[in-house]
Amino acid sequence: MAAKKKRKAPQLSPIQVRHLRGLGHTLKPLAMLGREGITASQIAAVEEVLDAHELVKVKIQENFPDDRKEGSAALAKECRAALVQVIGRICLLYRPNKDLPADRRVVHLPGK
């Protein structure tokens, strides 16, 4: 199995964040964090979903042991993704994947 490429978390401008928040509004959560907290298997699962979709909602269960905002930031850091938004118990993560076909990529506005 080939080693994964190390990626840096993308730096997003306020315009890009606003656009991604709008795109994320209609998404359903594709990953969940529960009572175990952030584990290696959870990180692997979220990274797999990010590779397939680029923009992902993650549901934070009631029994999550840490603060939801701190947990969301830690998950984003571990997955090398940008934390776009935390609302209630849902966080929105974005990580571009240049290997996806153009029709499956998230297009965001350039700018500052």
44-97, pLDDT tens digit by residue?
A: 999 999 999 999 999 999 988 889 999 999 999 999 999 999 999 999 999 998
27 lies in some domain: yes
Domain that holds residue 68: 14-95
Q: DSSP E strands: which ranges in the chain?
A: 29-33, 55-60, 82-87, 90-94
Q: What percent of the chain has pLDDT over 90?
A: 62
Are the C-beta atoms of residues 31 and 42 closer than 8 Å to each other? yes
pLDDT score of 10: 87
Judge whether 6 lies within some domain. no
Where do we find the tokens 């990626």? 7
Number of domains observed in the structure of the chain: 1
> Measured between alpha carbons, how far is residue 100 from residues 44, 77, 91, 106, 107 in Å?
18, 22, 23, 10, 12
- Please report whether residue 104 resides in a domain: no
pLDDT at 34 over 50: yes
Q: What is the mean pLDDT of residues 23-44?
A: 92
Select the more confidently predicted residue: 3 or 73: 73
Q: Minimal CA–CA distance to 25: which of 73, 71, 69, 57? A: 57
The DSSP H or E segment spanning 23 is helix 14-24
- pLDDT given at position 3: 43
- In this prediction, residue 2 carries a pLDDT of 41
In a domain, 53, yes or no: yes
